[in-house]
């Protein structure tokens, strides 16, 4: 994407979003920003699997446009959208924009209480190099494939080179869950989803059944004797 091209995200048509946030709806981060930025608070519409945007490889972003007010607003809106839907990452193709951009953050997340925190990160034109070809199997879900979970193998360690929110150079090594989130989001930039990474679909489950037959038994196995998972 060049500096001359306009960014045209698709927003949720819900004028009550700000009022709902103030009334106590949405995530804690959602409400925090709503209070801070009363003049403007927007949630982007998430594209689902089947929409062409999900399968379209993303274009590189011209660094000259990163500091523009329009692009900076988009970054804020993507973070707000990620928080509102309790995600740990969001890629631009998921909000109908075929550009190489993703945001991610893991902080006191109820679904991932035991993983190390990942600071709010903006990845523009990311390039990923696998440093450890060993893979780890774990469950994944996706905002663009709602109400589903599946076991996905991901590489253990990566090097990531990208531009940050202000166009600064990022170059870091990451492992385990952080590496998984980055692989998931950068797959979106290639027009791929986690289903494409699954060696077979036998583990693919609807969310309610996954919670009942996978999550709850796992929690019970890790609950000390004499205690229940709700204690």
Does 68 score more than 90 pLDDT? yes
Asked if residue 56 is part of any domain, the answer here is yes
Asked whether residue 182 is domain-assigned, the answer is yes
Active site residue 185: yes
Rounded to whole angstroms, how far apart are CA atoms 53 and 94? 7
Would the pLDDT of 228 be above 60?
Answer: no
Assigned token pair, 67: 């500091």
Looking at residues 161-170, what average pLDDT do you find? 98
Residue 104 has pLDDT above 60, yes or no: yes
Rounded to 5°, angle at Cα 193 from 188 and 197:
125
Instruction: Find the mean pLDDT for residues 113-132.
Output: 93
In a domain, 176, yes or no: yes
Higher model confidence: residue 159 or residue 225? 159
Please check whether residue 160 lies inside any domain of the structure.
yes
pLDDT at residue number 40: 60
Q: Which two tokens stand for residue 155?
A: 């590489």
CA 211/CA 47 separation, integer angstroms: 24
Question: Of these residues, 185, 192, 209, 216, which one is catalytic?
Answer: 185
Average pLDDT over residues 197-221: 90
Asked if residue 16 has pLDDT above 90, the reply is: no
The number of distinct structural domains making up the chain is 1
Paired residues of 173 in beta bridges: 159
Model pLDDT, residue 2: 57
Residue 1 belongs to some domain of the structure: no
User: Confidence band (pLDDT; 50, 70, 90) for 221?
Assistant: low
What pLDDT score does 4 carry? 55
Percentage of the chain exceeding pLDDT 90: 70
Tell whether 193 is covered by a domain: yes
Q: By residue range, what is the domain housing residue 200? A: 17-220
Tokens of 188: 């979106």
Residue 46: inside a domain: yes
CATH number where 106 lies: 3.90.45.10
Whether residue 11 lies inside any domain: the answer is no
């Amino acid at each position: 994407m060049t500096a001359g091209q306009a960014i045209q995200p698709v927003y949720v048509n819900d004028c009550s979003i700000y009022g709902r946030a103030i009334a106590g709806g949405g995530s804690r981060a959602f409400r925090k920003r709503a209070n801070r930025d009363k003049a403007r608070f927007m949630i982007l519409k998430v594209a689902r699997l089947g929409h062409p945007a999900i399968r379209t490889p993303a274009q590189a972003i011209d660094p000259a446009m990163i500091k523009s007010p329009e692009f900076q607003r988009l970054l804020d809106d993507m973070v707000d959208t990620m928080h509102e839907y309790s995600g740990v990452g969001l890629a631009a193709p998921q909000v109908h924009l075929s550009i190489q951009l993703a945001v991610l953050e893991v902080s006191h997340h109820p679904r991932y209480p035991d993983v190390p925190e990942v600071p709010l990160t903006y990845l523009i034109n990311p390039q990923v190099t696998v440093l450890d070809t060993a893979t780890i199997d774990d469950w994944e879900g996706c905002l663009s494939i709602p109400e589903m979970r599946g076991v996905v193998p991901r590489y253990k360690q990566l090097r990531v080179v990208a531009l940050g929110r202000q166009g600064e150079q990022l170059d870091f090594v990451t492992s385990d869950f952080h590496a998984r989130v980055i692989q998931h989001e950068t797959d979106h930039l290639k027009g791929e989803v986690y289903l494409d990474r699954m060696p077979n679909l036998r583990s693919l489950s609807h969310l309610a059944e996954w919670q009942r037959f996978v999550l709850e038994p796992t929690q019970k196995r890790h609950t000390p004797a004499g205690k229940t998972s709700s204690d």
